[in-house]
Amino acid sequence: MANSLFSLEGRLALVTGSGQGIGFALARGLAEHGASVVLNGRDAARIGGAVERLRATGFKAHASTFDVTDFQAVNADIARIEAEIGAIDILINNAGVQFRAPLEDFPEEQWERLFKTNVSGAFHAGKAVARHMIARGMGKIINIGSVQSELARPNIAPYTATKGAIRNLTRGMCADWAKHGLQINAIAPGYFRTEMNQALVDNPEFSAWLEKRTPAGRWGNVDELIGAAVFLASDASSFVNGHTLYVDGGMTASV
């Protein structure tokens, strides 16, 4: 009984932005717990390679190459997945971008790019998938926030604004869709070793600051996010809704 709470056997999960990094780790983690997974991204070659890596280890994986900022493409490909692959039981809204610059010099086009990808992308995919989930009376949506859903740091104010928006979009999705049997929650990672953070990982001064600032005293490893994703994707979280789960080594708990 205990193990069945966390089983994802027979379920189909769509993970946006899953060609590498956190998205790929989460897709692999869900597959390890029994789910079939649809990997999504804009780079067809990267997504194809990621799908092949999962298939090579015996997992059921499929590719999807819609751009989350294009709502027509999102709607069309999610309809295709539902018709050709199966009903989407789990959506992880992971697609995101970053750009660093002092706020007074921040390029307007980068502000627009961050919001279109990080916020509008989650809205487009969430809305398209939720319509199918509502008709079935069940479904799991997991949005990927950040410690920047709660905290700020110099040179990333627009990114911080997008991740704060994700925290409240999660609450809003819960307020609208929980009555239809959906659970919508968020995972807010701290600082993890990923391709997006590689410049920071390679910066000795920043890494030293991070290790001192984080109670756990280190960077996170992407596999340490899998447990949170499996919990929120499974029956174990059937009465958890509108919640943001910080996986950050204690960063948001300490000053």
Q: Domain ranges for the chain, please list them.
A: 2-248
Give the residue-averaged pLDDT of 55-75: 98
CA dist 184 and 90 (Å) reads: 10
CA dist 51 and 38 (Å) reads: 8
Decide: 225 and 26 in contact? Cβ < 8 Å: yes
Burial per residue of 59-92, b for 16 or more beta-carbon CB atoms within 10 angstroms, e otherwise: bebbbbbbbbbbbeebbebbeebbeeeebbbbbb
Q: Is 159 a catalytic residue?
A: yes
**Host H or E run for residue 29:** helix 21-32
Phi, psi of 40 (to 5 degrees): -125, 145
DSSP state of 103: G
Active-site residue (options: 24, 66, 159, 192):
159
Record: fold of 2-248: Rossmann fold (3.40.50)
Report the pLDDT value the prediction gives residue 199, as an integer from 0 to 100: 87
Token pair of 171 as six digits:
């609450």
CA dist 200 and 57 (Å) reads: 32
pTM: 0.96
Give the residue-averaged pLDDT of 13-17: 98
pLDDT at 2 over 70: no
Give percent of the chain above pLDDT 90: 95
Helix (H, G, I), strand (E, B) or coil at 183: strand
Give the residue-averaged pLDDT of 141-151: 97
Give the residue-averaged pLDDT of 32-50: 97
Mean pLDDT of the chain: 96
**Host H or E run for residue 12:** strand 12-15
Rounded to the nearest angstrom, the gap between the alpha carbon of residue 212 and the centroid of all alpha carbons in its chain is 27
Token pair of 226 as six digits:
């899998």
